[in-house]
Amino acid sequence: MLSMGLILASMVHADEVQVNRKGYSLQAERQGQGAVAVVFESGFGQAAGTWKDVVADLGNECRCIAYARAGLGKSGTDGKPKTIEQHLQDLAAVMDTLAPDRKVILVGHSYGGLLATEFARAHPERVQGLVLVDPATMDQRHAFKQADGERVLADDKALLSMLPPNMAEDYKLLIAQLDSAATAAPRPLPDVPVALLTSTQVAAEPFVFEETPQGKALWKRQHAALFAGFSRGTHQYFATGHNIHREDPKAVADAIRSVIAASRTGD
């Protein structure tokens, strides 16, 4: 039965939809015919395809919508780095085009998790529930720099040396925003069900501070504080690396199912 389910899921057809923006267009994928719309926000530098195994697990249970932010995957760009607010505007445009006049389950990984949380704060009327997959947080760089500022700056330098020019500019703008005093201020969270998934794996050879024992302990504390701001939901820990959705896609699909169920019952 399990193998038959996987075969049927793989047969669900994905439609590509272009979302027009000023100076560029975003390429989105819509798959499944379920009653609930699920919108996916990928991590920094990742395109829509990163969610393919999660979407395949959901099959026709939901209407799954994934897209690539400007300059990634098949999406175009106007050549300018985008602020967090501009990414939120693009996300709103995707929702307005593919899931108009309805609430959605918003799923975000890493930087995409930060965007999902910030979108829900700004537009709670559009969000039915949140699934946050090892999300970044607005105040994490303040905490990380306080713990080991030299390491954080060294990580920035290493990452910038590896990124292609357009992504390097995006990263510079992002860290400038996250380093600002405004991001350290507490922010109210919407009253929606949430599933928060946190990775616990410490790397044998850490590439960035978050993969060290000290960084991972702080990462978990950041997530615990984030979860404490919601009134309902679940917080699970996984012995995986940062890309939980790739290492354990069924866990993410099940988290989406749990949030859908909670949003229907009010639990």
Task: Identify the domain containing residue 23 by its residue range.
Answer: 2-265
Cα–Cα distance for residue pair 124/118, rounded to 1 Å: 10
Which tens digit of pLDDT belongs to each residue from 207-247?
999 999 999 999 999 999 999 999 999 999 999 999 999 99
Strand 24-31 and strand 233-238: the pairing is unpaired
What is the count of structural domains for the chain?
A: 1
Could you count the other beta carbons within 10 Å of the beta carbon of residue 72?
21
Which tens digit of pLDDT belongs to each residue from 101-131?
899 999 999 999 999 999 999 999 999 999 9
Cα–Cα distance for residue pair 114/200, rounded to 1 Å: 19
pLDDT of residue 5 exceeding 50, the answer is: no
pLDDT of residue 1 exceeding 70, the answer is: no
In this predicted structure, which of 108-117, 162-171, 258-267 has the lowest mean pLDDT?
258-267
| Phi/psi at 210 (5° precision) | -60, -20
Task: State percent of the chain over pLDDT 90.
Answer: 88
71: nearest Cα among 5, 169, 152, 160: 169
Tokens for 179, please give them. 């380093």
What pLDDT is attached to residue 186? 81
What pTM was estimated for this model as a whole? Answer: 0.93
Cα separations (Å) of 177 from 48, 73, 115, 174, 226? Answer: 25, 24, 13, 5, 19
pLDDT of residue 8 exceeding 90, the answer is: no
Cα–Cα distance for residue pair 134/43, rounded to 1 Å: 10
| Mean of per-residue pLDDT scores for the chain | 93
pLDDT of residue 82 exceeding 70, the answer is: yes
> For position 47, which CATH number holds?
3.40.50.1820
